[in-house]
Chain A
């Protein structure tokens, strides 16, 4: 059975709104990713795409555009979980022998106003039932998580804000990050309020960009001659708490336990974690769900733990969406791109020394009162 290996990654140059269109961003990420591996579109036989702004184009019309002949394809409609879902399924397809060289790409381009329009009509339940309330987009749907966490566990903004400050330090070592100036905890705390308890730097900045990773069969990987990254185990869960709105978890406890059992690893074995970061509280809830800290303890954990790339648990090592920018569905792939780069030891000044394995988690499809989708994967450098 062929073993799937992540072998390359690529990004387009991020732009603030009103830059290039979606297709040029997707092309640049694909070109960067394939070019790093010395491959061309004609070598690709599997393609996964996630994009909100490329329709009516889809994964197959992208293949048509780039003359790819496909044996497997997937349109990811899982919001911020689409990237991890795509890589997990791509790895399975390679194990099954259905495809051998699968490109996973995600990205979007927004103009002023188009991002808010997307959010208002993001899902049927959301546009029908929340739109008329002036719900504030994803900010308004997810801010209540933090209100409730603060009420139940005493979680404070100055605890969560430390994560944003640290991620900014990482971003300043990432040339593709749109935020390149330091963020102090005071600036975080005093920024203008958006959707209480979220202030400006709790929220991602929508931007335009794309991200890609390449999963190939091990014999192809050997011929490419780059360090291979194993997709050790992947799990996904959607609509984890049917009909319920005030659950903190999107299924992280369940898929986390399964991942640790399947890999024989524990949270403490991870050299880094890349956790979907639309808001720091969402990162905190994933820290709790996957067992990096106890339930309700993410605030004190972030207060006491050095989560920088030189600390105890390097977290969102490239700056994450909070400091690089959220390129729509590209936000689902950015953490995978960073993870592969770290495990190939190509992250330059922000390299986590000797990184051998890490956890990547996605979350998204914000709908009626919660995000509906999540997926996580454990990646490991082949020579470890």
Chain B
């Protein structure tokens, strides 16, 4: 199962874009929550060359995604249509991917 877990501050609602030890804004306690798993591509790169163990996955589509929760994360896209990515493409969490980290796919046209 490929779920996107983020952290939110129990005191001030700050949402972290990558794992933090505590809240950077109020130093409060961060709690995990399941993110919606949807967002929009801010920008991206298509990786054609990298270390050997990733060669089966090339070309890798690496993207900055602004999530519905309002934070920007970096992730990668899977799916045969991933090279169709553009700035502004809506994306959603992919049910399965090759990375140990959650990966995304292009959202179907018209889907919410």
Assuming the contacts A133-B60, A144-B43, A245-B42, asked whether A196 and B48 have C-beta atoms less than 8 A apart, the reply is yes
Q: Does B81 contact A (CB under 8 A)?
A: no
Residue among A195, A197, A242 with most chain B CB within 10 A: A195
Chain A residues contacting B99 (CB-CB under 8 Å) are 132-134
Q: Does B107 contact A (CB under 8 A)?
A: no
In the complex formed, the residue of B with least CB distance to A131 is B101
Assuming the contacts A133-B60, A133-B76, A136-B62, asked whether A196 and B43 have C-beta atoms less than 8 A apart, the reply is no
Q: How far is the CB of A279 from chain B (nearest CB, A)?
A: 11
Among B57, B60, B74, B87, the residue within 8 A (CB) of A148 is B87
Chain B residues contacting A134 (CB-CB under 8 Å) are 47, 50-51, 54, 57-58, 60, 62, 76, 99
Stretch among A33-41, A122-130, A175-183, A213-221 lining the B interface = A122-130
Chain A residues contacting B27 (CB-CB under 8 Å) are none
In the complex, chain A residues 104-153 whose Cβ is within 8 Å of any chain B Cβ: 116, 120, 125, 128-130, 132-137, 139-140, 143-145, 147-148, 151
Chain B residues contacting A132 (CB-CB under 8 Å) are 99-101
Task: Say yes or no: A144 contacts B62, CB within 8 Å.
Answer: yes
Among B18, B45, B46, B100, the residue within 8 A (CB) of A368 is B18
Among A151, A198, A246, the residue within 8 A (CB) of B64 is A246
Q: How far is the CB of A250 from chain B (nearest CB, A)?
A: 15
Q: How large is the interface on B (under 10, 10 to 19, 20 to 34, 35 or more residues)?
A: 35 or more
In the complex formed, the residue of A with least CB distance to B73 is A245
Chain B residues contacting A151 (CB-CB under 8 Å) are 43, 86-88
Chain B residues contacting A369 (CB-CB under 8 Å) are 64, 72, 74
Task: Say yes or no: A140 contacts B101, CB within 8 Å.
Answer: no
Chain A residues contacting B73 (CB-CB under 8 Å) are 245
Q: How far is the CB of A62 from chain B (nearest CB, A)?
A: 31
In the complex, chain A residues 38-91 whose Cβ is within 8 Å of any chain B Cβ: none
Assuming the contacts A128-B19, A243-B24, A245-B17, asked whether A133 and B62 have C-beta atoms less than 8 A apart, the reply is yes
Task: Say yes or no: B87 contacts A130, CB within 8 Å.
Answer: no
Q: Does A355 contact B (CB under 8 A)?
A: no
Q: Does A261 contact B (CB under 8 A)?
A: no
Q: Does A2 contact B (CB under 8 A)?
A: no
Task: Say yes or no: B62 contacts A140, CB within 8 Å.
Answer: yes
Alpha-carbon gap, A9 to B73, bound state (A): 42
Task: Say yes or no: B45 contacts A144, CB within 8 Å.
Answer: yes
Q: How many residues of A contact B (CB 8 A)?
A: 34
Task: Say yes or no: A144 contacts B44, CB within 8 Å.
Answer: yes
Chain B residues contacting A148 (CB-CB under 8 Å) are 42-43, 87
Q: How many A-B residue pairs have CB under 8 A?
A: 113
Q: Does A244 contact B (CB under 8 A)?
A: yes
Q: How far is the CB of B65 from chain A (nearest CB, A)?
A: 9
Q: How far is the CB of B57 from chain A (nearest CB, A)?
A: 6
Alpha-carbon gap, A193 to B88, bound state (A): 23
Task: Say yes or no: B64 contacts A144, CB within 8 Å.
Answer: yes
Binary interface profile of B, 22-60, with partner A (CB < 8 Å = 1, else 0)?
A: 001000000000000000001111111111001001101
In the complex, chain A residues 159-191 whose Cβ is within 8 Å of any chain B Cβ: none
Q: Does B2 contact A (CB under 8 A)?
A: no
Alpha-carbon gap, A194 to B50, bound state (A): 9
Residue among B49, B57, B88 with most chain A CB within 10 A: B49
Assuming the contacts A133-B74, A245-B17, asked whether A139 and B47 have C-beta atoms less than 8 A apart, the reply is yes
Chain B residues contacting A197 (CB-CB under 8 Å) are 45
Q: How far is the CB of A245 from chain B (nearest CB, A)?
A: 4
Chain B residues contacting A143 (CB-CB under 8 Å) are 45
Task: Say yes or no: A133 contacts B101, CB within 8 Å.
Answer: yes
Among B16, B49, B100, the residue within 8 A (CB) of A136 is B49
Chain B residues contacting A116 (CB-CB under 8 Å) are 50-51
Assuming the contacts A145-B43, A368-B18, asked whether A135 and B49 have C-beta atoms less than 8 A apart, the reply is no
Q: Does B71 contact A (CB under 8 A)?
A: yes
Chain A residues contacting B50 (CB-CB under 8 Å) are 116, 134-137, 140
Pick 5 A–B contacts, CB within 8 A, sort by A.
A125-B18, A130-B74, A137-B50, A151-B43, A243-B71
The 5 A-B residue pairs with the shortest CB-CB distance, nearest first, are: A134-B54, A143-B45, A148-B43, A136-B47, A196-B46
Extra contacts, 10 of them, besides A130-B74, A139-B47 (Cβ < 8 A), are: A116-B51, A129-B101, A134-B60, A134-B76, A136-B49, A193-B48, A194-B49, A196-B48, A243-B16, A246-B42
Q: Give the A-binding residues of B (Cβ under 8 A).
A: 16-19, 24, 42-51, 54, 57-58, 60, 62-64, 66, 71-76, 86-88, 99-101, 103
